[in-house]
Amino acid sequence: AARAEALREAARALEGSGVSVAYVDAAAEPQCAAGHAGLQLFGPSPDPIQIAPPATHLQARAVVDKTLAQVAAVVLERLGGGAEPGAGSKAKPKTQQNKEKSKPKNKFNTRGKPLQLDDANFDSTVLQADEAFIVAFIAPWCGHCRALAPEYAQAAQQLEGAGVIVAEVDATANERLSQRFGIQGFPTIKFFPPGVLNKGDHNVIEYQQARSADAIVSWSLAEFERHGGQVAIDIPEITSQADFDELCEESKCVLMFVPDLHDTGKAGR
């Protein structure tokens, strides 16, 4: 009973994260359970990852922490140079860390521009992604759409790497999508929450705020967090003039000066 309650608590905590919690009755389904004793994670890597051995006292926090750590390890490995699942992360040179943190990875390669979606690629792009999407359904002849375009492009730049993908659909050329989402006027902007499990059509939210970049960005990030997404803000560490030049030469930097760890330890920071 205690293990079941811990799993239920973990399931509630992981809702919307892309990780589902389920169980198999080993007595009723011996074939399915064969070779998979205990609590195991399936999906992020080819082989299951052991989260907790059988007959172990489970704590929801420990289950969630280890599960998310293992998922993160697999994702980092896909990006290159990350930790192997089940292992601690390997230290990288600080300069390399700074480069990676200053340039957020974007698997959709939007480069700060709205991603173009259509009938053919919509489901495979939006519904299979952990990222949230905010999608504008537009018409080429629409004056309001043309007025939105520069603000929408600016929103795409500001949301780059934040977990929300800015996209658009030519509704006149993609009638199936227009009918599916009940598009009756232009532009119509809809938000698709983060997490594969939240991407059902019934979870789509219509954007009804101001059509400015700032309003779109702030509303999108608020909805992203409300649905379980975590906005990652990477703060690179500058340890040399070369690091400073690379990070701050072409953009504005806000600097915080902290004591050396050797002088004050972690508490001093």
Catalytic residue among 16, 18, 142, 161: 142
Task: Spell out the residues 6+ positions from residue 251 whose beta carbon is closer than 8 angstroms to its own.
Answer: none
Three-class SS of residue 49?
Answer: strand
Catalytic residue among 35, 80, 88, 143: 143
Nearest partner of 126 among 199, 188, 187, judged by Cα: 199
Contact 160, 107 (CB under 8 A): no
CA dihedral 132, 123, 20, 24 (to 10 degrees): 180
Active site annotation includes 161: no
Active site annotation includes 142: yes
DSSP state, residue 196: G
CA–CA dist 165, 144 (Å, integer): 21
Instruction: Give the strand order in the sheet containing 164-170.
Output: 115-117, 164-170, 132-138, 188-192, 205-206
Active site annotation includes 32: no
Catalytic residue among 144, 182, 253, 268: 144
Burial pattern 121-145, b for ≥16 Cβ within 10 A else e, equals ebeebbeebbbbbbbbbbbeeeeeb
CA–CA dist 191, 208 (Å, integer): 10
Active site annotation includes 144: yes
Catalytic residue among 145, 195, 227, 228: 145
* Residues identified as active-site: 142-145
